[in-house]
Amino acid sequence: MIGIPIALLAANGVEWYLHKYALHGVPKEGGGRKALSEPFMKRHWAHHRRVRLTKYRDDELYGKFSESPDAIAEAKALLKICAVTSLAMPVAPFFTLTTYYCAWNYWHVHSQSHLDPEWGKKKIPWHYDHHMNTNQDANWGVTKPWFDYIMGTRVISSADLQESNPIGIKLPLVIENKLNALARRYAPRAFEKLDANAREEAQKRAQGLENVMPEFQAVT
């Protein structure tokens, strides 16, 4: 049973890492970006551009699966990851089965959020911020914001888009208050970074920069 929480945490870490280094890439000194997967990076930035132009909605990606090469490529990538984790089935069945759930949940939550933006804002506000903030190189978590809190990459745009606790799951108020207090007590530097991120985002929005389109042309 210990494999279940381990898989959930590992999946969120992989989600954070691949989103940052495979889908977005790292800016290069001379311009452009370097990514673990150039094709996926180009597809992903095209997704970002569409989302910025349509207020978070992306029917082209998820509207009709059979007619979307990018959606098919995404599904194949998730299946390949599941194929790898299947190797652990004989010794860690709960871990493996949980990774299957995580792959399905990623697909369901991400696709549904971009087909129903209001649902997305309520269900995964951190991902809405990822697309609609002035800084799109942050908020790498999609299904949950765990590693964004750990790595200090959660950028909260406004109070109405702030999750009530770091795990992104609504809990009874008394538990949330205790959890938030413990998180700030034992990870003060991470929260200092998060507070600084929020202040910087607010300053940029005060300058009207949230409507500026990112330089997608620099991605090569």
Asked whether residue 214 carries a pLDDT value surpassing 70, the answer given is no
Q: What are the boundaries of each domain within the chain?
A: 3-214
What confidence category does residue 219 fall into, taking pLDDT thresholds of 50, 70 and 90?
A: very low
Per-residue pLDDT, averaged over 140-164, amounts to 94
* 114-150 pLDDT tens trace: 999 999 999 999 999 999 999 889 999 999 999 999 9
> What pLDDT is attached to residue 213?
65
What confidence category does residue 77 fall into, taking pLDDT thresholds of 50, 70 and 90?
A: very high
Please give the full DSSP string across the chain, using - where no structure is assigned.
Answer: -THHHHHHHHHHHHHHHHIIIIII-EE-TTSSEE-S-HHHHHHHHHHHHHHHHTTT--HHHHS-GGG-HHHHHHHHHHHHHHHHHGGGTTT-HHHHHHHHHHHHHHHHHHHHHHHSHHHHHHH-HHHHHHHHSS--SS---SS--HHHHHHT------GGG--SSTT-S---HHHHHHHHHHHHHH-HHHHHHHHHHHHHHHHHHHTTGGGSPP-GGG--
> What pLDDT is attached to residue 33?
84
